[in-house]
Every structure is written in structure tokens, then in C-alpha cells.
Structure 1
Amino acid sequence: MSKGRPQNAAGNGDKERGVDIQPTAAGTAPSARAPSHAERARTLTRAARFGSLATMARDPEGFPYASLVALATDTRGRAVLLLSRLAEHTQNLLARPEASVLLLESPIEGDKLLERGRVSLIGPCSPVPAEDVPGCRALFLAAHPDAATYADFSDFAHYRIEPRSLRYVGGFGRMSWVDAAAYARAEPDPLAEFAPRILGHMNDDHADSILAYARKLADIADATAAEMTAVDRYGIELAVKAPSGERRVRLPFEAEVRTREEARKALIEMAARAEEG
């Protein structure tokens, strides 16, 4: 197999209020399946470990007060926090539970953060009921093992945000309000933990295959360069450069993939189709 062919690369449903990127090349199908914004939000929040918590300030009264907090998310996508009663944000919550927390797509690095995904979970943030504390404690400590040194201090307690609504922004041209029930039902993408390695491998070692994807499968015959910008269970997304300008396109897999090995096989199959074309 040529160097250009990948070898070692690692449901929609709920209607959302917002916009998403659309394929711009003649050869891409507008119906190409992509993760819903609820799925994208669940994928992002599952990986999040820190966020900016906004509470209603007591002084000056009525203004948002933002602070950095450590967190984890449970199987329903609810944010679980371990807060000290002495902290300003905790005192605000005890007076008024209305809150939101902004979570950024990991890893948080580079100078193009506005192109990365983010989710705002909006809802009441209240102390966790006694019967749920053991589960929340285990969840939080799994995400933040160092917190074991202070988790049992008398002034610390677990809090949980119950999302009433969510705002998802996936970068330029991809944003919406997400229904809380749809978010709770959505499954995080099974390829998320492998995606950075898949993208790095493909872009570093198989740039010619990605360019063939753009020219043959996305029907951008005059493409001069292409980069794989995303991969998920349903397909891949490309940033394609051509004389007419840069285009963003999505190409679907033949079938849903759930493992790194399935993704590798799907990318090889796409390369074979591109060569045949």
C-alpha cells in the first residue's frame, strides 16, 4: 500500500435551533450524516475537566460573577463540582442557585480558541442529595485524583448543575440552542478519545490521500491542498484549499464506526474509492 493510503489511523434526530456548516462542493451530499449538536455537546462535556462558573453575585447584586472551577460530568451530562462553602461562588449559589458553566473543547491550547467548540450549561446548581454523594464523589475523584487531599474537609460539598438549556458553539458557522432532554439522551462520540491521533496521523503521513478525498470524493477537482479537521463515528470533515478559496466539506463513512480499527478500515476504503475515481 502506498504511503498515501492510510494504514494506522486510529444520530442525528433532535431538531436544534441554530446553524451548521454545509457542504459546498458539488460532489458532497447535503444529507451526509453528522453528529447532532446534542451529540457534539455531550462529547465535549464528557472530556471537560475545568470550566468557568457564572453565579448571581450578592454584591454587586444582580451581576454575573465568573470563576474557574474543576468539574466532571455524569452519565446524563450534568456537571458535578466540589465547592468550598468559603468560596464566593458557593455563597452566591446558596443565595440563588441560578448558574451557568462554560466548558471548552479539549485540549485548551493554541491561539485559535474561538475556532474550538464550547458549551454553556444553564440551570440551577444545588448541593447534591445525600443519596447521590458517594457516586458524585467517586466520579469527581476519578477526574481529579488530587482532590482527595481536601474532598473530605468539612467546608467542601458536592454540587450539581441540572441543565435547563444549553448553548453549543462549534466554531464559525456551527451553533445552536440544544434541548436539555435531547442532550441527556445523546451519546458522546465513541471516537473522541482517538480523534486527535487519527487526525495527526492522517495529516502528517497521508496528506496525498486527504487531497484525493477532496478531489475525487468531494468533487473539488482543482483542490490544491486539504486538511482533515474532524473525524467522528459518521464521517470526516476537511478544510480544502482551491483557486476559488477555502471550502469546508463533510464526507460520510459507508457505515457508522465505533472503534479506532473500524475508523482505520473506513479511511482505507475511502482512499481506495478515491483512487478508483
Structure 2
Amino acid sequence: MGVVGARLTKALADAAGVAVSTVLTAALTSLLPGPLPWVAFLGVLSMTVGLLTGAGERVAVRALHGARPLTQAEWAALAPAIVLLCQSGVGPPLVRLWLKPGAGTMSARGAGRRSVLVSAGLVAQVRLGRLPPDQAAAVVGHAAGLVRVGAVRSDLALELWTIPWRSLRGIGVSVAHACGRLPLVRLMWRARFVVGLIALGQGVTAGQPEAAVAGSLSAALVALSYLLPHWERARSAHEQAIGDEQVARAGLAPALAAFLLRQSRSAATFERIHALRLAHDSAQPATSPVRSTRP
């Protein structure tokens, strides 16, 4: 499915957040007195549309992720990796590298049209000599590849617009984590499809439009609790596959495979490494057979 599949799964995974954020923002704006809430609403909407076109990306990276430009010392530490990225066609100036402070993991992620956020942990490991330059280049190249093909083009705009949804979801996850230790709550959560069916049946059989709508909404929420995690996993899998393909085209698949083995030796990791090797082999130019010059 490639980039098209990634965009489809991204649309499905983000649809709920966009819808909930739009409804909440519009409802809150209509309830607050005066024109100022509407000015703020239109301002955020304008910034979101601007981010979709690439305007204000640097400001959004700073505001939404707390990222900052690399210092000269950090550029010097990453210089060997950046050289490899540039030689592979996925490095600066095609992308802008940012540092994400406080991130202890060795990771990088693409955001918007040109931004790649490199974790402070990755830079630290490169400085200490614990992460080879080719592996650092592979990790950053994976994120840069997603940026290059446009797979994360709308991420910053979505992150800005779905702040209400992500806030509500964070609260819900915290409450669910706290209450999930109770056996009865765990049982009810696992059997939530039964609750959804009962609500739908009661709403339809009540014979009142309001009850039917309420029952349908309850069933839809239960269905989303199953579908949304599935769509999010599918989105992550598609983006991972696209990034791996770009890394293989850049000739950095062996380095990424070595990096993955440093992190985990699970069955999923070996499956991914196998796919990387296949992509690397297919990306290599075909060699013509050597013919003998003897008569």
C-alpha cells in the first residue's frame, strides 16, 4: 500500500481526534461570552491550515515538542552521521535537524515537511562513542525518509488541532490505569462489547428517536474502543515499513539492522530485520554476469 496506505490509516487513526477536538472547541467557544473566544478559535484554525501548507513549521516544532536547533558541539558530534545522510540524499539541507531535550531514548522522528527531531539520548550516545555513526545515520535517516516522502506532512497540524482530544485521552488513560487494577472494572472493560450491544438494542426497541441516537452513539463509542487501537497500530506499521524502505534505498539497512539488535532480540525485531535485508538486496543495482574472454 505504501504512502497511500499510510495516509489512509493515518486518516482513520486521526479522524476521532479531529472530530472530538472540533466539537469540543466549537462548543466551548459558543458557551464563552464575547468575541474573544471566536477570535482564538479562528486563530488556531488559521495556524492549523498554515501548518498544512508548511508555514510556521519552525515555531510549531519549538512550541509543540520543546525542540531546539542543534548547537555547534552537537553538530560536530553528529557530523560523521550527517555526512552519511547527505551522501545518501536524505540529510540536510533537505531536512532540518532539531534536538528534543529530555528524551533519553535513542530515537528520531519526522514532523511536518522538513523537520527531524533527534533525541538527546541519541546525541549523548554518539558523543560517548557508544553508537556508531552509521547506526546513528540509519536512525535519523528513517525519520528523514518519512519526511521526504510526505508520510508525516500533516503531523504538526494534527497535533495542534487535536490538543483537546489528546488532553482528554491522557486523563482517561490515567483514570483507566488507576481503576484497571480492580477486578470488576477489568471484567467490564473486557466485556464492553456486550454493554454496547445492550445499549444499542435498548435504544432501538425504545421507539424514541432520542433513545435510538443515544444507543447508537454508545455502540459507536464501544466500536471505536476496538477500532482506534487497531488503526493506530496499522498506521505505525505502515510508517515503519515506509521508513525502512527509505533506509534500504539509502544503503543504510545493515546499520539499522545492527541498531535494532542492540535494542531488542524479540521475534518482531528479527522479522523486521529480515524485511530490511530483503529491501536492501532489492535496492542494490543488479550486476551482470561475468563472461569468459577465452575463445
Q: Normalising by structure 2, what TM-score? A: 0.26
Q: Normalising by structure 1, what TM-score? A: 0.28
Look at both structures and tell me which one has the larger radius of gyration over its CA atoms: 2
* More strand by percentage: 1
